[in-house]
């Protein structure tokens, strides 16, 4: 690959960069990759007293190869890439095919492999005159903690979810875990967490903290989260800094509460723009996506008339769920844009989808440029799984949300959207976990009709859009917070 452009960007002292160099270590999934990449770009736009700030994003080999198909073997020191501002260096997790280690022994081997590979990245960057001055890990990545400890490099955590979720995890592992676990089967039970201005119902907690199914994924994540939060709660060391992808204006109480325990910096919304170098990267094959076709179709629709439906980059539909979505869109009687990936689509789902297209008045695509779609004036509401990236994009672009949460932080996000910010409504699933067509149509009508809820939500999302624009403006609160983080990291270096 071409020689790293950052070699020409940094200040030198005997060939060694004397300013900050952040190594941002991310999981190889879409919801981590994109905000980490945007954060890297924003860091690289800053300057400290020693010169430019450098940023390198390190992804698993499998994700790195999707982003850079011409990349070579991971053990080749030259296998780095650049977009002209940020460098990218792969790490091996010992699997390198995008799969997850399931049993304890396999996870231990993968953690060790990740540690060894990231240590090699740190050594390579130092040998090139660009020593890492801070490791930033996305969410819960145990091997990144190992690397920071072993090499005595300051560690920061990039929390990709709201501050309310950060508070839920922190307090779960610091005194409230037994209570939450004992009530996990009671969705209406309310838990008061220190500093939050209202209780969280069990149904509004991050799903892994209240899992009653014995999910192996929940167990794996919770074990890693426990280690991270025990590290964060160890005040015998310098407090670990936590960058949170949120706004002070959205979560003032949660941020203020967490600042009593952690060094927290609100740096959101960390979302990309279709028209900038921070544009989204999509890891799935979407070579057949026809942007011109769907954008022209949106342009032919009336203002605020289109129902945009997308359940994220990893969602798969059962035949029953697809039938209900198709039924709900027919019931709405409004034009719709439905996103459904082709890879892994089951034949029975395809049949339901074909029927919906034939009978409906919308368009189905396997991929779209979501920020570009959400910013189109014809889009009237967004039916979403309520991942935090999607929630922030909707908020920043003034699109009312039908929140249909499933796993992870999504239940908490839905609670915030509906009850804290009045930026949408929550769609309820039936006893079988299906989001019915009737419920879809009810929620859409609430947001796109002419009743008081629709009026209130439209006014509210417009106000939130204005807040978001002020926060991310040049020299605004997000930049100032990020700059404060860089300066504080600098005070702990050397």
| DSSP structural state of residue 140 | S
In the structure, what pLDDT confidence band is assigned to residue 207 with cuts at 50, 70 and 90? very high
Per the CB < 8 A criterion, the answer to whether 215 and 242 are in contact is no
In the structure, what pLDDT confidence band is assigned to residue 1 with cuts at 50, 70 and 90? very low
Structural domains of the chain sorted by starting position, each given as residue range(s) with its CATH number in brackets: 5-153 (3.40.50.2000), 163-266 (3.40.50.2000), 291-471 (3.40.50.2000)
pLDDT of residue 101: 78
Query: Has residue 65 got a pLDDT over 80?
Result: yes
Query: Has residue 60 got a pLDDT over 80?
Result: yes
Closest CA to 31 of 245, 334, 255: 245
Lowest mean pLDDT among 53-67, 183-197, 342-356, 441-455: 342-356
Per the CB < 8 A criterion, the answer to whether 200 and 168 are in contact is yes
Closest CA to 382 of 423, 437, 323: 423
CB burial of residue 299 (10 Å; 0-12, 13-18, 19+): exposed
Per the CB < 8 A criterion, the answer to whether 341 and 366 are in contact is yes
What would the pLDDT profile of 118-145 be if each residue is shown by its tens digit? 999 999 999 999 999 999 999 888 999 9
Angle (nearest 5°) at CA 276 between 275 and 282: 85
| DSSP structural state of residue 426 | E
Closest CA to 462 of 454, 452, 450, 472: 454
Establish how many alpha carbons lie within 13 A of residue 475's alpha carbon, considering only the half-sphere containing its beta carbon: 0
Coil, helix or strand for 151? coil
Round to whole Å and give the CA distance between 109 and 5: 34
Round to whole Å and give the CA distance between 132 and 292: 42
pLDDT of residue 286: 56
Active site residue 286: no
Q: Is the peptide bond before 324 cis (omega within 30 degrees of 0)?
A: no
Query: Has residue 5 got a pLDDT over 50?
Result: no
In the structure, what pLDDT confidence band is assigned to residue 10 with cuts at 50, 70 and 90? very low
Round to whole Å and give the CA distance between 177 and 172: 4
| 424 φ/ψ angles, rounded to the nearest 5 degrees | 170, -165
What would the pLDDT profile of 318-339 be if each residue is shown by its tens digit? 888 888 998 999 999 999 999 8
- Token pair of 114, please? 């990740």
In the structure, what pLDDT confidence band is assigned to residue 11 with cuts at 50, 70 and 90? very low
Angle (nearest 5°) at CA 368 between 158 and 460: 65
Query: Has residue 203 got a pLDDT over 70?
Result: yes
Q: How far is CA 244 from CA 130, 209, 257, 341, in A?
A: 26, 20, 13, 30
In the chain, how long is the greatest CA-to-CA distance? 69
Query: Has residue 73 got a pLDDT over 70?
Result: no
Coil, helix or strand for 234? coil
Cα end-to-end distance, the chain, whole Å = 33
Round to whole Å and give the CA distance between 261 and 476: 25
Helix (H) or strand (E) holding 310: strand 306-310
Round to whole Å and give the CA distance between 69 and 79: 11
> Beta-carbon neighbour count of residue 83 at 10 Å?
17
> Beta-carbon neighbour count of residue 465 at 10 Å?
16
The pLDDT of 402-427, averaged and rounded, is 96
| Percent of the chain whose predicted confidence (pLDDT) is above 70 | 84
Query: Has residue 407 got a pLDDT over 70?
Result: yes
Sign of CA dihedral 386, 387, 393, 396: positive
Per the CB < 8 A criterion, the answer to whether 168 and 209 are in contact is yes
The one catalytic residue among 10, 20, 32, 171: 32
Coil, helix or strand for 188? coil
Closest CA to 398 of 345, 447, 331: 447
């Amino acid at each position: 690959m071409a020689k790293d452009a950052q070699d020409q960007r940094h200040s030198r002292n005997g060939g060694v960069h004397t300013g900050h160099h952040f190594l941002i270590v991310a999981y190889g999934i879409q919801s981590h990759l994109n905000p980490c990449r945007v954060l890297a770009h924003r860091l690289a736009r800053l300057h400290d007293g020693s010169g430019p700030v450098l940023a390198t994003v390190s992804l698993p080999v499998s994700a790195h190869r999707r982003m850079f198909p011409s990349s070579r073997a991971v053990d080749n020191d030259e296998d780095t890439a650049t977009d002209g501002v940020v460098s990218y260096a792969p790490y091996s997790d010992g699997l390198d095919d995008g799969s997850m280690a399931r049993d304890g022994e396999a996870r231990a081997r993968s953690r060790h492999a990740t540690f060894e590979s990231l240590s090699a990245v740190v050594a390579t960057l130092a040998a090139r005159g660009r020593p890492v001055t801070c490791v930033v890990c996305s969410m819960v990545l145990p091997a990144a903690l190992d690397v920071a400890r072993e090499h005595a490099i300051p560690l920061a955590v990039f929390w990709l979810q709201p501050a309310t979720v950060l508070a839920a995890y922190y307090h779960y592992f610091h005194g409230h875990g037994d209570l939450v676990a004992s009530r996990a089967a009671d969705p209406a039970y309310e838990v008061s967490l220190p500093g939050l201005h209202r209780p969280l119902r069990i149904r509004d907690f991050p799903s892994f903290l209240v899992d009653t199914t014995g999910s192996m994924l929940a167990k794996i994540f919770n074990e890693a989260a426990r280690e991270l939060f025990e590290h964060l709660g160890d005040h015998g060391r310098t407090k670990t800094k936590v960058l949170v992808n949120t706004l002070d204006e959205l979560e003032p109480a949660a941020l203020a509460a967490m600042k009593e325990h952690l060094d927290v910096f609100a740096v959101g919304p960390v979302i990309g723009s279709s028209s900038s170098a921070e544009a989204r990267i999509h890891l799935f094959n979407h070579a057949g996506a026809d942007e011109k076709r769907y954008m022209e179709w949106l342009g032919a629709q009336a203002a605020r008339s289109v129902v945009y439906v997308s359940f994220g980059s990893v969602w798969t539909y059962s035949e029953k769920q697809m039938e209900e979505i198709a039924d709900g869109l027919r019931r709405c009687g409004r034009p719709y844009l439905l996103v459904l990936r082709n890879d892994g689509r089951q034949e029975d789902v395809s049949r339901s989808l074909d029927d919906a297209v034939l009978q409906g008045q919308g368009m189905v695509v396997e991929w779209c440029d979501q920020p570009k779609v959400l910013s189109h004036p014809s889009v009237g509401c967004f039916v979403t799984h309520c991942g935090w990236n999607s929630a922030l994009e909707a908020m920043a672009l003034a699109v009312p949300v039908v929140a249909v949460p499933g796993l992870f932080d999504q239940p908490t996000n839905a609670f915030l959207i509906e009850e804290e910010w009045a930026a949408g409504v929550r769609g309820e699933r039936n006893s079988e976990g299906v989001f019915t067509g009737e419920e879809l149509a009810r929620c859409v009508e609430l947001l796109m009709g002419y009743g008081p809820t629709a009026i209130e939500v439209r006014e509210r999302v417009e106000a939130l859009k204005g807040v978001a624009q002020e926060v991310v403006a040049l020299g605004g609160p997000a930049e100032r917070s990020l700059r404060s983080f860089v300066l504080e990291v600098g005070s702990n270096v050397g």
